[in-house]
A and B are shown apart, each in its own frame.
Chain A
């Protein structure tokens, strides 16, 4: 009995290690290959795999020709604006949903959550017509307005949990001491949830950054998002793989950095507060 158990455990251990190593290669090698390729000249691309003279030619090309830098900036403006609005709008809403008991509370909360799960194209098709009539098509304002719906459900649901974690007695005590609701909210509650708030905002930023459909269908002439712009590196007839790698690297780098910053809150954020990591 005991002999068999340890045997099972041993095989499971070995199988687990093999699985992890194989998956690690599957998962990380594309990123490594991207970095390698980004320093390879077009000539070396066909000649060698790993040993070559690194060059910054690809970076120079992507950064100086084409509109990738403009797309990067556009994307940043749209995402930052969208996250800012969803924070301003979402933080009070999260507080109301955490603290007050009122009719229809759960249905309001679930309606907001349903934005996350609704098919984006369903909204985009009517919006396309609405944006044309309101002259919001291909403008920063229009894009920020639609992008904030990406982060809003996340912010509200995650922050609701953080507000609920603060004992209501603390608020009552501060109110008894004569602090107004405003100062309790801004001087006590906001600092208490700040780590969660920063993490949720940065995660919303990543979600916005990665969005493709809105940028594809609701803008494209004056404003281009980075995902739509990156796609042009596939579409061209003469493919410069080095530039493709640089474009990918530029799009991914900010996200990896942000991901490392919010590591501790990642589980809670990605599961919208349902799993407290």
Chain B
């Protein structure tokens, strides 16, 4: 084996010099991140400039409070509901759309993506526009069936359903778009041999399509999971976590601690928990993705 030629120093440094601007701006985000961890051990507040170390008091109090466990539970409910439904619906829609190739399906492939471009806050505006009890068209539609003044986000029994609906409207196209791209990139030859072997459509889907789609599905899952678990915009713009604390997920409860009660020290641990969850789950999902990619290539 030929021994690698020793590189001069400037060549060794070159990638770092090219990266330098990015690394410098990166400090702008890494510094506040470290400071956030630091704050979680202090009683830092936005109201007063005096603060001191309190050790792990914030952490212990958070773990003891029922509010924290409630917001964790809301976070889990919201994430499972939105991500689960979006993955399922996105997959089914992509399969349905991929079966046909006519003008209608080609137009759909373009226009169904539009809601994905809409900001969650604006999506909430559209939701209010349609569901408000005075002029909303959905309200008028429900009136036909004898349902009057459906409470949507105003009642704790329907609030989660309402925000999940808004999230579905915005984000299902993301899964749809990725799975559609995955379906179009599938190899032809395994399907031809499956046809000759006479496998049923369901069997072909289960043993061929689904495993081949696994990398794309995992990518969609990673992106959707990381966004859903920290969802803030939709819940803030509909109910700010209410009614009561029905929709108070970790992001909103941290926001409330920091900006309503001006207590940074107790706000930060909640988000660090969120960050740990994201970190842990996304690492697992990324390694599953790498494995499925190499399994398909091999």
Assuming the A-B contacts A23-B93, A102-B16, A244-B125, are A117 and B226 also in contact, with contact meaning beta carbons closer than 8 angstroms in the complex? yes
Does B255 lie at the interface of the complex (its beta carbon under 8 Å from any beta carbon of A)? yes
Closest Cβ–Cβ distance, residue A52 to chain B (whole Å): 12
Q: Looking across the interface, which residue of chain A has its beta carbon closest to that of B166?
A: A30
Tell me the complex Cα distance, A45–B140, Å: 12
Q: Which residues of chain B are within 8 angstroms of A145 by Cβ–Cβ distance?
A: 25, 28
Query: Which among B18, B32, B108, B129 is the interface contact of A126 at CB below 8 angstroms?
Result: B32
The A86-140 residues at the B interface (CB cut-off 8 A) are 88-90, 92-93, 95-97, 99-100, 102, 105, 108, 111-112, 115-123, 125-130
Closest Cβ–Cβ distance, residue A247 to chain B (whole Å): 7
Assuming the A-B contacts A31-B115, A266-B177, are A271 and B121 also in contact, with contact meaning beta carbons closer than 8 angstroms in the complex? no
Tell me the complex Cα distance, A27–B14, Å: 49
Assuming the A-B contacts A89-B25, A125-B267, A270-B174, are A230 and B125 also in contact, with contact meaning beta carbons closer than 8 angstroms in the complex? yes
Q: A8-16, A62-70, A167-175, A192-200: which lies at the B interface?
A: A8-16
* B: interface residue count bin: 35 or more
Which B residues are within 8 Å of any A CB, using their own CB?
12, 14-16, 18-19, 21-23, 25-26, 28-33, 35-36, 39, 46, 89, 92-93, 95-97, 99, 108, 110-130, 132, 134-135, 137, 140, 169, 172-174, 177-178, 180-182, 184-185, 198, 200-202, 215-216, 219-220, 223, 226, 230, 232-233, 236-237, 251, 254-255, 258-259, 264, 267-268, 271-272, 274-275, 278, 282, 289
Which A residues are within 8 Å of any B CB, using their own CB?
1-2, 4-5, 8-9, 12-13, 15-17, 19-20, 23-24, 26-28, 30-31, 33-34, 37, 45-46, 49, 85, 88-90, 92-93, 95-97, 99-100, 102, 105, 108, 111-112, 115-123, 125-130, 145-146, 148-149, 152, 156, 206, 209-213, 216-217, 227-228, 230-231, 233-234, 239, 241, 244-245, 247-248, 251-252, 255-256, 258-260, 263, 266-267, 270-271, 274-277
